[in-house]
Amino acid sequence: MGQFVVSAIKYRPMTFASVVGQSSIGITLQNAIQRGHLSHAYLFCGPRGVGKTTCARIFAKTINCLNPSPEMEACGECESCRSFAEGRSYCIHELDAASNNSVEDIRLLSEQVRVPPQVGKYSVYIIDEVHMLSPAAFNAFLKTLEEPPEYAIFILATTEKHKILPTILSRCQIYDFNRISVEGIVSHLEEIATKEGVKYEHDALNIIARKADGAMRDALSIFDRVVSFCGDSITYHEVIEDLNILDYEYYFRLTDAFVEGKYAESIKILNEILQKGFDPQHFIGGLCSHFRDLLVCKDPSTIMLLEVGKNIAERYLAQAATCSLSFLFGALNISSQCEAGYKASGYPRLHVELALLNLSNMESEKKNAIAESSSEPDNKVSPTRTATPSTEVAAKPVSTLPSMPKSISLRSISEASAKPAPTETKIVQQALSNEFTEEKLREVWLAYSETVRAPRLKSWLQEHNPERGEGFIIIYPSINNEHKQRLIDLSSGLIGYLREKLANTEIDIDWRIITDREKQEAEHNIRPYTPWDILKFMSQKNPTIEDMRRELDLDVR
């Protein structure tokens, strides 16, 4: 039995063309070699496992190759290529900055740079995880990096570019590596499985690719693990069992239960999931992703955003056809709020169960609303009904006209229909414009003020009573234009709050600037909140307090 070699090493790319998902970077480097436009320093940055160090090695081997191809790929047969493949090259040096991050290590590197290459044109120094160098080591490296010998080329690789000093970044050509797409990883895994003689299901490889999160090295490590578990045949169910991934089937079953309003079924499915040992927070995150995938299936132009296997994609398309857009938007809102508030919940399981109950109730409420609207008599006004031109209302028989409040008779409606009739929207607004007392206004006003976070504004709203003006205009005082603008910023939410609580859609607010005398009285009545306000308030009553603060040089906190 031969020694096992992990796939990440066994199938490591040896040419630019074989690097998955980084074709633009490969082409750029090949063109630079062909035209002789080589920089003395490069920085390869990006997520883990996307080919940074691999591209650095291929680049180093290619620029030292004695017989490169017309496409600027290393031949793999010359002395330079063979010595590199066998690990005995004196032209290509690799340094791990994680374990060699001191000034002394950089000093040794600077001395090594003085030695010219023995075979090939360039001495290439690949420094991996360069962000691990200490600040002192970075500063010691600056001179060597800025003015190296003609034959020296540095290739720095890192996963955290933001940790590198700007003085280092300015001396390098920077290449940003992208995460590898799910399709690219699946295609590469199919090639490796074929070479290894392993049968596979496309959905199983898709699960591995999504689990890798854009990193090819992670995908190959997961592939080796799955092969050890499954043997020579990789199936979807064995992969999700080995990787402890929740089956898509649970999400499809839950969505069907939501659409049909079966709240008990959704709770039972959740219990089944939790008994299998899955984290409720991961489950609700997966449910959000499931609703998102259903949403992208609703439009042909966004189906390309669905990153699942072929068989599962068909399931998504079929289920998306049974879900309305309003349901999916509402479901995404509920599930995302559940996920956001999960950690703050004192009873996480109940928190998730309540979200499932709300999801199960969405379609039921919609159906009930439709049933109620269809069963309403024709002469009943619905506040949510879309406004129609008044001419259509006037043309209808009296029996089908929208009804008014009890204080308005049918006789008055028929008399009004003989005149130029107002639009139906105005009729509805009149029906909803209820009278209210100043006591009720004050009560609602104080209730809203409790929601204001700014202390001074909150105090102002509580200390000054709103007054009824003409019609349903509310008059409220402000000190100056700046103060008025701050109050106006509140007015959108405040007006909506008043209209809802007082059941009157015609309420508006007139923010009037008060006179200087009224202003002094108003400022005098403001309740002090901040330490400076309290000091000012106390000093007005006893000036010696301020004198004592100045003499003792006291601070206010």
Residues 6+ apart with CB under 8 A from 290: 248, 251, 255
Mean pLDDT of 439-464: 80
How many other C-beta atoms can be found within 10 angstroms of the C-beta atom of residue 437?
A: 10
For domain 438-526, the CATH superfamily is DnaA, N-terminal domain (3.30.300.180)
d(CA 43, CA 141): 14
Give the CB-side neighbour count of residue 304, counting CA atoms within 13 A: 2
- 3-state secondary structure at position 475: strand
Task: Tell me the CATH architecture of domain 248-370.
Answer: Up-down Bundle (1.20)
The answer to whether 362 touches 331, Cβ cutoff 8 Å, is: yes
Q: What are phi and psi of 176, to 5 degrees?
A: -95, 120
d(CA 201, CA 206): 9
Helices 248-260, 310-320: crossing angle, 10 deg rounding: 10
Work out the angle at residue 463's Cα, subtended by the Cα atoms of residues 459 and 466, and round it to the nearest 5 degrees: 115
d(CA 309, CA 301): 18
Mean pLDDT of 200-224: 89
User: Topology of 7-176 in CATH?
Assistant: Rossmann fold (3.40.50)
Band (pLDDT 50/70/90 cuts) for residue 254 is very high
Domain ranges of the chain: 7-176, 182-242, 248-370, 390-422, 438-526
Residues 6+ apart with CB under 8 A from 445: 461, 465, 466, 498
Task: Tell me the CATH architecture of domain 182-242.
Answer: Orthogonal Bundle (1.10)
- 3-state secondary structure at position 467: strand
Mean pLDDT of 381-395: 40
Which has the closest alpha carbon to 250: 270, 234, 233, 231? 270
Tens-digit pLDDT profile for residues 17-41: 888 888 899 999 999 998 888 889 9
pLDDT at 375: 56
Is 0.85 surpassed by the pTM of this model? no
Work out the angle at residue 379's Cα, subtended by the Cα atoms of residues 373 and 383, and round it to the nearest 5 degrees: 55
Q: What is the DSSP letter of 177?
A: P
Tens-digit pLDDT profile for residues 502-534: 888 888 888 888 765 555 555 555 556 567 667
The answer to whether 69 touches 75, Cβ cutoff 8 Å, is: yes
pLDDT at 55: 93
For the cut 80, the answer to whether the pLDDT of residue 399 exceeds it is: no
pLDDT at 253: 92
End-to-end CA distance of the chain: 76
d(CA 407, CA 431): 10
Which has the closest alpha carbon to 290: 312, 268, 311, 272? 312
The token pair that represents 460 in the structure block: 């102002």
For the cut 60, the answer to whether the pLDDT of residue 396 exceeds it is: no
d(CA 192, CA 255): 36
pLDDT at 472: 81
Q: List the alpha helices (DSSP H) in 307-347.
A: 310-320, 325-340
- Mean pLDDT, the chain, rounded, equals 80
The token pair that represents 542 in the structure block: 């006893």
Where is average pLDDT lowest: 231-245, 275-289, 373-387, 543-557? 373-387
d(CA 464, CA 471): 21
For the cut 80, the answer to whether the pLDDT of residue 386 exceeds it is: no
Burial of 261 (0-12, 13-18, 19+ CB in 10 A): middle
For the cut 90, the answer to whether the pLDDT of residue 44 exceeds it is: yes
Confirm whether 7-176 and 248-370 share one CATH topology.
no
Tens-digit pLDDT profile for residues 78-120: 888 888 888 888 888 888 888 888 888 888 888 888 888 877 7
d(CA 291, CA 294): 5
Could you please report the per-residue DSSP string of 384-427? TSPP--HHHHHHS-GGGSPP--TTS-HHHHHHHHTS-PPPHHHH
- 3-state secondary structure at position 153: strand
Which has the closest alpha carbon to 359: 320, 324, 402, 330? 330
d(CA 359, CA 335): 8
